Amino acid sequence: MAHAPIIRTLGKNGPKIPALGFGLMLIGAPAYGAVPQDKDRSAILDKALELGATFWDTSDLYGDNEELLRQWFQKTGKRDQIFLATKFGYVKGEGGKTMQFQFDTSYEYTKKACQSSLDAMGTDYIDLYYVHQVDNVTPIEETMRALAELQADGKIRHIGLSMVSSTTLRRAIKIAPVAAVQPEYSLFGREIEGPEGTDLLATCRELGVAVVCATPLGRGLLSSDFGSTSSSSSSTAEDGDTTKVDPADLRAKMMPRFLAENRAHNAAVVAKIREFAAEKKGCSVSQLALAWLLKQGDDIFVIPGTRRVRYLEENWATNSVELSDEEEKQLRHSAQTSELAGEALPEQFMDHKFRNTKEIS
Ligand SMILES: NC(=O)c1ccc[n+]([C@@H]2O[C@H](COP(=O)([O-])OP(=O)(O)OC[C@H]3O[C@@H](n4cnc5c(N)ncnc54)[C@H](OP(=O)(O)O)[C@@H]3O)[C@@H](O)[C@H]2O)c1
């Protein structure tokens, strides 16, 4: 059944795009286990286009995602039908191998990274170009100057900031318009609503900046698979065995909520949400979690990630799941009163979420 997409305006007077996007990280980087085979990756992109899920989110960090996109654009000739977001800021090491957790958002690197992404994707413009992570030494004003020039040159159409604080956003917007920020936001990750997340949601609303929710399913926590077996849902086969934990799945190794000692407790919490989904809405827990986010306002966009066509289709069907105000409140209450075991991220990543930059000297 075709689901008419929810279309929303990105930021102040921005383009109208599907509120339900597609996060491409897992079809490029083996973060949660193996990346699918090329024919399956191509099939998932084909399906996203066919459905209308044309707001794609990638990064120069996500394995060979940008090269994959170049091949897909060459094959289909459909670059113009995709609203393409990519990111920069993680420094790549020798031979293009990504070295995580080193950042560079200097003026020079911003320009260089943009050209590399354009070349890698075989396109002459990026619809939405994000700073993925700000570095410790560059004032955001310098990065924004480079981005504003890229925009004036027509290389990027809109500017985005990911994982920044309200202070960084306020400083950035004085240099050039910011269309979107990309923080983590999900039913069990609501920091942006309050001081813990620098009141980022309120700041975005005040400034007319869209919120694109990274990890809207809590990295797979808010899914029918979580906790139903010993699974980390890492098999990539279309109907594959999801009961095996893929040794390459970083979640099972380092994401506290996914560690063996926390799984049973957290599965019981998710089971309550699943019950709500089935009984009240006749939908899946993932659909309910996405619908809950979309209910938060017309400035909210979601980019769930998947390696499977069937999850892509299931997530897209959320376009037809509408929550009442009362249902939204009940779900929020349920999440607020159920404590998950473990944090969403390991300790060493906690300061990556709402970053400030150096003051201008
Ligand atoms: N800005 C940043 O720093 C940042 C950080 C993290 C993520 N992101 C962006 O956010 C996107 C999404 O993040 P994410 O992939 O880490 O987390 P996510 O979207 O919260 O969850 C993805 C996980 O949920 C599973 N899943 C998806 N749909 C499902 C369904 N309908 N039923 C059951 N399971 C389902 C996927 O399984 P399978 O893998 O088995 O398909 C995958 O394991 C990324 O692609 C990236 O674009 C940005």
Residues 293-348 have pLDDT tens digits of: 999 999 999 999 999 999 999 999 999 999 999 999 999 999 999 999 999 999 88
Q: Is 62 a catalytic residue?
A: yes
pTM as predicted: 0.95
**Better-scored residue on pLDDT, 235 or 110:** 110
349 burial (CB, 10 Å; 0-12 / 13-18 / 19+) is: middle
| pLDDT single digits (tens) 75-98 | 999 999 999 999 999 997 665 555
Domains observed in the chain: 7-218+292-321 (3.20.20.100)
3-state secondary structure 126-137: EEEEEECCCCCC
Pocket test for ligand 1, best of 168, 215, 273 (most atoms within 8 A of CB): 215
Q: Whose CA is nearest to atom 29 of ligand 1?
A: 311
Instruction: Tell me what the mean pLDDT of segment 130-148 comes to.
Output: 97
Locate the ligand 1 atom nearest the alpha carbon of residue 304 and give its number.
19
Average pLDDT for residues 254-260, to the nearest whole number?
Answer: 93
Give the position of tokens 């926390």: 262
CB-ligand 1 contact for 147 (6 Å cutoff): no
Q: Cα angle at 179 between 147 and 171, to 5 degrees?
A: 65
Q: What is the pLDDT of residues 223-236, one digit of tens each?
A: 988 856 444 444 44
